[in-house]
Amino acid sequence: MTLEEIGSRAKAVSRTLNNLGSREKNIGLEEAARALLEGEDEILAANQADYEKAESSGMSKGMLDRLALNPGRIQSMADGLLKVAALDDPVGEVISMKLRPNGLKIGQKRVPLGVIAMIYEARPNVTADAFGLCFKSGNAVILKGGSDAIESNKAIAKWLRTGLTRAGLPEDALQLIEDTSRETTKELMRLNRYVDVLIPRGGAGLIRSVVENSTVPVIETGTGNCHIFVDETADFNMALDIIYNAKTQRIGVCNACESLIVHRKIADQFLPLLKKRLAEKEVEVRADEAARAVVPEFTPATEEDWGTEYLDYILSLKIVDSVEEAIEHINKYNTGHSESIITSDYFNAQKFLDEVDAAAVYVNASTRFTDGEEFGFGAEIGISTQKLHARGPMGLKELTTTKYIIYGDGQIR
């Protein structure tokens, strides 16, 4: 099919989805989850082909981790669909109703966005997550994954559509664009006749290209240059555990810690402990001169390091004299994603929460929690790092808009 045909089908089916009840949508999600598990062998075989091709082409460890599927990850994808099914349906919710002096009752009601398109890189789990959230919120979805995961995405989409068919629901609620060319990507960015919202999910280059070239409204999801600031009152054991988790649990995710800031008053005691802990995963620390004066083995940092999302076993490190300096550094170099302070000082914690400009700001916790499932959304379609119309993990409500509903009894103006 041409993109014009895909868009036309999506627009048509979006009108059907708009009128589906919660029970019908939940049955569709449950059948899709069953179908995913039924198709596990085919999905894993397709993923293995993608993985071997990517590995031979030199894909980084972080990106390979994003690409790889196993039975546990397929089970998690299916479980994610069931969790979304169990969530309250936002569509149809009347969020306000006021009586005007002229007798009109004016309210706002949640409705689907319509047709959502996604462009994303080598993350096949996004295929299932995006479908689940879009379907439950009454939206048709057009997906365009990267060439590195095309076989995986085709297999996953096939079984999700099989589940919808078994539930007696339109399989075109999910359409996957199988042409991975750049020309098709550019054409999708201009499909505003049919597509209501475009969501890019991937690296900085992809997101920049979509933002600069799309004629479809874009929700910008983030690259993650996430910081952790270890304040002078921090509990060292807590700080080491949080940094280790945020940096090394999964290096190829946008909520991993990429940049570390340490208060000068504790540098002499804390940095040798940090070096020892990060050595367990052979993390390279790129540090400023003050940090290297304490641990000479650290690699010298450059200006570029302060703003880099490594997606690798690399961490930048800067020494500061105050919480104010830490906040200033973060607001200069961050990407608006997730930032954390480790501290026992209530006032510094509150200052950090108030003044750091990011979608998610933590006190004494890992940045790895910026995730739709961890926030109770079942899954997420992306982490929005912009301020309109959504910010942070995007769940069901973020995939709806509102319309005004007005009740009268003959009023004229």
| Cα 384 to Cα 333: distance, rounded to the nearest angstrom | 17
> Cβ distance 342 to 230 under 8 Å?
yes
For the cut 90, the answer to whether the pLDDT of residue 328 exceeds it is yes
Nearest alpha carbon to residue 135 among 5, 7, 18, 11: 18
Mean pLDDT of all residues belonging to the chain = 96
Looking at the chain, the whole-number percentage of residues with pLDDT higher than 90 is 91
284 is written with which tokens? 């390279």
What pLDDT digit, counting tens, does each position of 269-298 carry? 999 999 999 999 999 999 999 999 999 999
What pLDDT digit, counting tens, does each position of 382-412 carry? 899 999 889 999 999 999 999 999 999 999 9
pLDDT value, residue 237:
98
> Cβ distance 369 to 393 under 8 Å?
no
Report the pLDDT averaged over residues 359-363.
Answer: 98
Q: Which residues pair with 226 in a beta bridge?
A: 257
Instruction: Go through 196-220 and write b for each residue having 16 or more CB atoms within 10 A of its CB, e for each that does not.
Output: bbbbbbbbeebbebbeeebebebbb
pLDDT value, residue 203:
81
For the cut 80, the answer to whether the pLDDT of residue 378 exceeds it is no
pLDDT value, residue 121:
87
- Higher pLDDT: 377 or 20? It is 20
> Cβ distance 140 to 173 under 8 Å?
yes
Give CA angle at 13 (113, 33), nearest 5°: 85
| Cα 270 to Cα 264: distance, rounded to the nearest angstrom | 10
What pLDDT digit, counting tens, does each position of 110-159 carry? 999 999 999 998 889 999 999 999 999 999 999 999 999 999 999 999 99
Name residues whose C-beta falls within 8 Å of residue 175's C-beta, 6 or more positions apart in sequence: 6, 9, 10, 140, 141, 142, 143
| Residue ranges of domains in the chain, CATH in brackets | 3-221+394-407 (3.40.605.10), 226-369 (3.40.309.10)
pLDDT value, residue 223:
85
Give the confidence band of 202 by pLDDT, cuts at 50, 70, 90. confident
- Global pTM reads 0.89
What's at 121, amino acid-wise?
E
pLDDT value, residue 222:
74
Name residues whose C-beta falls within 8 Å of residue 240's C-beta, 6 or more positions apart in sequence: 273, 274, 277
